[in-house]
Amino acid sequence: DEGMMMQMPIAQAKERYGDRLRIAPLGAIPKVDDSLRTLHDGTHGAGVNPNLRVRDQLRCSGSSDIKHAVGELESRPGRSWGLTADVSRAHRRYKHKEDDWGLLACQLDDPEEVWLNLVGTFGIGCASYWWTRLFSIICRCASSLLLRDAVFQMLYADDLNWMTSGERGISAVMVALFFMSLVGTPFTWKKMAGGFTYGWVGYEISLEQHELGISLERANWLCDWIRKSLDSEHILVRDVVSVLGRLSFATGPLERLKPFLSHIYAW
């Protein structure tokens, strides 16, 4: 109904796209609100992701950016404050060229029909790239409207974080939010959060104490994993590889942990 997919007879799809017709297996990932996110497997079988060629690198806001903002706000008049926002189904908010629709195919119950994705798809590796290029335009336009007001606007994938201080800063954030809504940004309003102490993409930001840490959930997960590993006195290498990413994330705000990871990286 929203024009994000198109149904087509498989014979017609084969004729139109030839070897660029890739029918991917589908899966579903449970979300915290008990709904399901459809997963389009563009890696196994379809082979779309292994053949992508990255044109540019993407840079998302991280711990160093937040630390800079927190330090700047501490020195400014007025009480520091922040607001976070989430864009609904961000990976499906940009259009693919018609020539590429065949690479984004899947099937449901009818083996004689295929469904073509016309927009970005969860499970296709270029989704983050094109979404970032699209939404960066809107973010930069919003920033330009704020003129010289001290507002730090950060974007990590589809998660926005505004940090500011004082009454004038809060008004500026509202201008940015109004502009983004005006041009059609589909915010998930029930996920709006913020205040003086709040979480954002796994970080815990205190604008009362002007400090940065990791969320309690992430901290507890890491502590439990380390404790269990010490008790069992052995660990699978593949588990180390996956957990090392979580540990590296934690060392962004918690820099004192970095020396303890150096020997794992060296090994």
What would the pLDDT profile of 93-142 be if each residue is shown by its tens digit? 999 999 999 999 999 989 999 999 999 999 999 998 999 999 999 999 99
Answer for the pair 165, 81: CB distance below 8 angstroms, yes or no: yes
Query: Could you tell me the pTM of the whole model?
Result: 0.86
The pair of structure tokens assigned to 63 is: 């711990």
Structure confidence at residue 41 as a pLDDT band (50, 70, 90): very high
- Biggest CA–CA distance in the chain, Å, is 67
Report phi then psi at 31, rounded to 5. -110, 165
Give the pLDDT confidence score for residue 33 in this predicted structure. Answer: 80
Structure confidence at residue 34 as a pLDDT band (50, 70, 90): confident
Mean residue pLDDT across the chain: 92
Other C-beta atoms closer than 10 Å to the C-beta of 168 total 13
Give the pLDDT confidence score for residue 114 in this predicted structure. Answer: 96
Percent of the chain surpassing pLDDT 90: 73
Report phi then psi at 72, rounded to 5. -65, -40
Span 47-70, pLDDT tens digits: 999 999 888 888 888 899 999 999
CA distance 52 to 104: 13
* Mean pLDDT to the nearest integer, 188-196: 94
The residue among 200, 196, 246 whose CA lies nearest residue 225 is 246
Q: Check whether 264 has a pLDDT greater than 90.
A: no
CA distance 105 to 113: 10
Span 138-152, pLDDT tens digits: 999 999 999 888 899
Give the pLDDT confidence score for residue 257 in this predicted structure. Answer: 87
Q: How far apart are the first and last CA of the chain?
A: 53
Report phi then psi at 92, rounded to 5. -110, 20
Answer for the pair 90, 157: CB distance below 8 angstroms, yes or no: yes
Give the pLDDT confidence score for residue 57 in this predicted structure. Answer: 85
